[in-house]
């Protein structure tokens, strides 16, 4: 591969992995890593967990220690935004009038937290959570005895609710849909999460939207809901999803549809431009449809795959989707993409703190999930990846070790 300069937009998890992979694959040319944050590449999962609770410092999220990062000889441009891609000239324009010429360009610009679209959404005390800066701002507002309103019963909202309870806040979660994490888990798991939060004293209100926020006389906020009720609180966390940062690609005329369209070699509609992580959408064979995977695993693996593909190495990015969430004493993991069409087999007691739900299609396990079941889920992953035919009765039988299947 003759590329001399490979530019990466976004110094997040995917961008960080792309940069270090270029070096580990022996690329000796120039790697320019453009990031509009002040931080070296870092992982976001702890921002709603240990960093938010104060148990871990934000520096612990960095992919590499400063010396290891410096040793990669990366031309890292912190606090710099990429503003325009001139595809004809193969130049990337940056804030403050600078530009970088590239041979290959990897877009790892992730996404931003969607903001509430209601009156009062920009008031002080209303937060979103995506970056280290966001976690610092929200964390400073989470002191014991205060009341937090979480808008959105998805993963980020629920993790923040759990962390806030741990810190001694009163917490209310409102979710406009009829159940928690509706887009990603079956109803049984939504019910499990509901019970989990209720058991920890969170007031969860389903089927309730938020209509407006206003400052109140106490210096706090009053939230008015679509069901006519109101709530006084000290802080609001909007956990209402992610907007992919694909404007750069769209303005450059790359094919986009709710994210930058790439193939399983991470190539966009311009063969010299690749994309990876939360901003990329591609046909996931495990899901049987095109999608963006907003997960730690995908950011890392697709970042690696994009870097290798930029170097001309054959890749086929089709990881079995894996996601986890930590809430209270529960570590919930999901492998594959469960759908209502699958047959369900439960191993263990679904009302306990540890069990596995298997999802079968024509006698083969295609997805599995469960709380505090990391060991069983490791075996489940193998069953899925090897497309093993299984006996449902054996799968449910705790006396039959999964390793035997
Ligand atoms: C609070 C939180 C908790 C999470 N918890 C989990 C979890 O428990 N499990 C799990 O699997 N996943 C979790 N995730 C998801 C996971 O962190 C993301 O999928 C992952 O960070 C995506 O990586 P990325 O590199 O694609 O994007 P990002 O990490 O968002 O990086 C993109 C970077 O690009 C920068 N950028 C954007 N546009 C430009 C531009 N024009 N110029 C320069 N820079 C730009 C952004 O500022 C950002 O720094 C969590 C995410 C969050 C926010």
Mode of pairing for the β-strands spanning 260-261 and 280-284: parallel
pLDDT greater than 60 at residue 1: no
Q: Which of 7, 8, 9, 13 to mutate to test the pocket of ligand 1 (most atoms within 8 A of CB)?
A: 13
pLDDT greater than 80 at residue 45: yes
Reading the block at residue 20, the tokens are 């270090």
With contact defined as beta carbons under 8 Å apart, do 364 and 345 qualify? no
Q: How far does the centroid of ligand 1 lie from the alpha carbon of residue 128, in Å?
A: 13
Mode of pairing for the β-strands spanning 330-335 and 322-327: antiparallel
Q: How far does the centroid of ligand 1 lie from the alpha carbon of residue 1, in Å?
A: 29
68: confidence class by pLDDT, cuts 50, 70, 90: very high
Residue 320 Cα distances to 65, 182, 336, 360, angstroms: 29, 21, 6, 15
18 Cβ contact list (under 8 Å, min separation 6):
8, 106, 108, 276, 303, 304, 306, 307, 310
Query: Rounded to an integer, what distance in angstroms lies between the CA atom of residue 274 and that of residue 121?
Result: 35
DSSP letter string, 69-94: HHHT--EEETT--EEEEETTTTEEEE
Query: Rounded to an integer, what distance in angstroms lies between the CA atom of residue 178 and that of residue 201?
Result: 20
Query: Rounded to an integer, what distance in angstroms lies between the CA atom of residue 195 and that of residue 210?
Result: 22
Reading the block at residue 199, the tokens are 């058991």
Q: Which of 44, 238, 273, 307 to mutate to test the pocket of ligand 1 (most atoms within 8 A of CB)?
A: 44
Query: Rounded to an integer, what distance in angstroms lies between the CA atom of residue 180 and that of residue 215?
Result: 28
Q: Which of 7, 45, 185 to mutate to test the pocket of ligand 1 (most atoms within 8 A of CB)?
A: 45
Could you identify the atom of ligand 1 that is nearest to the CA of residue 129? Answer: 1
Pocket around ligand 1 at a 6 A CB cut-off: 9-15, 34-37, 44-45, 47-48, 81-82, 108-110, 129-130, 156, 245, 248, 277-279, 294-297, 299, 323-325
Query: Rounded to an integer, what distance in angstroms lies between the CA atom of residue 169 and that of residue 136?
Result: 17
**What is the average per-residue pLDDT within 114-120?**
98
Q: How far does the centroid of ligand 1 lie from the alpha carbon of residue 130, in Å?
A: 7
pLDDT digit string, tens, across residues 266-283: 999 999 999 999 999 999
Reading the block at residue 98, the tokens are 């600078």
Question: How far is C-alpha 224 from the geometric centre of its chain's CA atoms?
Answer: 29
pLDDT for 405 equals: 81
Handedness of CA 279, 321, 59, 173 (dihedral sign): positive
Q: How far does the centroid of ligand 1 lie from the alpha carbon of residue 390, in Å?
A: 37
**What is the average per-residue pLDDT within 327-353?**
95
Q: Which of 78, 159, 299 to mutate to test the pocket of ligand 1 (most atoms within 8 A of CB)?
A: 299
Domains of the chain as residue ranges with CATH: 5-112+242-310 (3.50.50.60), 115-238 (3.50.50.60), 329-404 (3.30.390.30)
Could you identify the atom of ligand 1 that is nearest to the CA of residue 81? Answer: 42
Could you identify the atom of ligand 1 that is nearest to the CA of residue 47? Answer: 1
Residue identifier of the C-alpha nearest atom 37 of ligand 1: 109
Reading the block at residue 62, the tokens are 């960095």
Q: Which of 18, 43, 109 to mutate to test the pocket of ligand 1 (most atoms within 8 A of CB)?
A: 109
Strand order in the sheet with 330-335: 322-327, 330-335, 364-371, 356-361, 343-347
What is residue 360's three-state secondary structure?
strand
Instruction: Tell me which residue of 34, 98, 22, 32 sits closest to 245, measured CA to CA.
Output: 34
330: confidence class by pLDDT, cuts 50, 70, 90: very high
50 Cβ contact list (under 8 Å, min separation 6):
56, 60
pLDDT for 161 equals: 98
Reading the block at residue 259, the tokens are 């994210």
pLDDT for 96 equals: 87
**What is the average per-residue pLDDT within 88-117?**
97
Could you identify the atom of ligand 1 that is nearest to the CA of residue 10? Answer: 34
Residue identifier of the C-alpha nearest atom 45 of ligand 1: 10
Residue identifier of the C-alpha nearest atom 17 of ligand 1: 44
**HEC profile of 275-296:** ECHHHEEEEECCCCEEECCCCH
Q: How far does the centroid of ligand 1 lie from the alpha carbon of residue 317, in Å?
A: 19
Residue identifier of the C-alpha nearest atom 50 of ligand 1: 45
Instruction: Tell me which residue of 398, 403, 384 sits closest to 355, measured CA to CA.
Output: 398
β partners of residue 213: 223
Q: How far does the centroid of ligand 1 lie from the alpha carbon of residue 17, in Å?
A: 12
**What is the average per-residue pLDDT within 7-20?**
98
Residue 13 main-chain phi, psi, to 5 deg: -70, -50
Could you identify the atom of ligand 1 that is nearest to the CA of residue 325? Answer: 8
Reading the block at residue 118, the tokens are 């209601």
41: confidence class by pLDDT, cuts 50, 70, 90: very high
pLDDT digit string, tens, across residues 140-187: 999 999 999 999 999 999 999 999 999 999 999 999 999 999 999 999
The strand ranges marked E within 180-312 are 203-206, 210-215, 221-225, 230-233, 235-238, 242-244, 260-261, 273-275, 280-284, 289-291
């Amino acid at each position: 591969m003759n590329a001399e300069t490979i530019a990466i937009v976004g110094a997040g998890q995917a961008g960080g992995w792309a940069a270090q992979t270029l070096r580990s694959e022996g690329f000796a040319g120039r790697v320019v890593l453009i990031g509009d944050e002040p931080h070296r590449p870092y992982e976001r999962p702890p921002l709603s967990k240990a960093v938010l609770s104060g148990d871990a410092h934000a520096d612990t999220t960095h992919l590499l220690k400063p010396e290891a990062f410096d040793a990669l000889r990366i031309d890292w441009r912190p606090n710099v935004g990429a503003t325009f891609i001139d595809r004809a000239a193969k130049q990337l324009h940056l804030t403050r009038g600078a530009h970088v010429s590239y041979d290959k360009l990897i877009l790892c610009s992730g996404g931003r937290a969607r903001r509430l679209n209601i009156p009062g959404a920009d008031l002080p005390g209303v937060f979103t959570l995506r970056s280290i800066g966001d976690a610092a701002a929200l964390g400073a507002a989470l002191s014991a005895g205060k009341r937090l309103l979480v808008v959105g019963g998805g993963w980020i909202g629920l993790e923040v609710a759990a962390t806030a309870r741990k810190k001694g806040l009163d917490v209310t979660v409102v979710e406009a849909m009829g159940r928690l994490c509706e887009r990603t888990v079956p109803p049984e798991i939504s019910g499990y999460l509901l019970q989990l939060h209720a058991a920890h004293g969170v007031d969860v209100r389903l089927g309730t939207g938020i209509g407006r926020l206003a400052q109140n006389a106490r210096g706090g906020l009053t939230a008015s809901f679509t069901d006519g009720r109101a709530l006084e609180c000290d802080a609001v966390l909007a956990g209402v999803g992610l907007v992919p940062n694909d404007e750069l690609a769209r303005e450059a005329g790359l094919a986009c549809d709710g994210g930058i369209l790439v193939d399983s070699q991470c190539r966009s509609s311009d063969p010299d431009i690749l994309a990876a992580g939360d901003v990329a959408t591609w046909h996931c064979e495990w899901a049987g449809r095109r999608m963006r995977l907003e997960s730690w695993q995908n950011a890392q693996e697709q970042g690696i795959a994009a870097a290798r593909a930029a170097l001309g190495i054959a890749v086929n990015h089709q990881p079995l989707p894996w996601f986890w969430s930590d809430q209270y004493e529960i570590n919930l993991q999901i492998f594959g993409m469960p759908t209502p069409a699958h047959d369900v087999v439960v191993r263990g007691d679904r009302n306990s703190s540890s069990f596995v739900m298997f999802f079968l299609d024509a006698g083969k396990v295609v997805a599995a999930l469960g709380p505090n079941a990391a060991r069983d889920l490791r075996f489940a992953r193998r069953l899925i990846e090897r497309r093993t035919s299984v006996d449902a009765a054996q799968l449910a039988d705790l006396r039959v070790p999964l390793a035997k299947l």
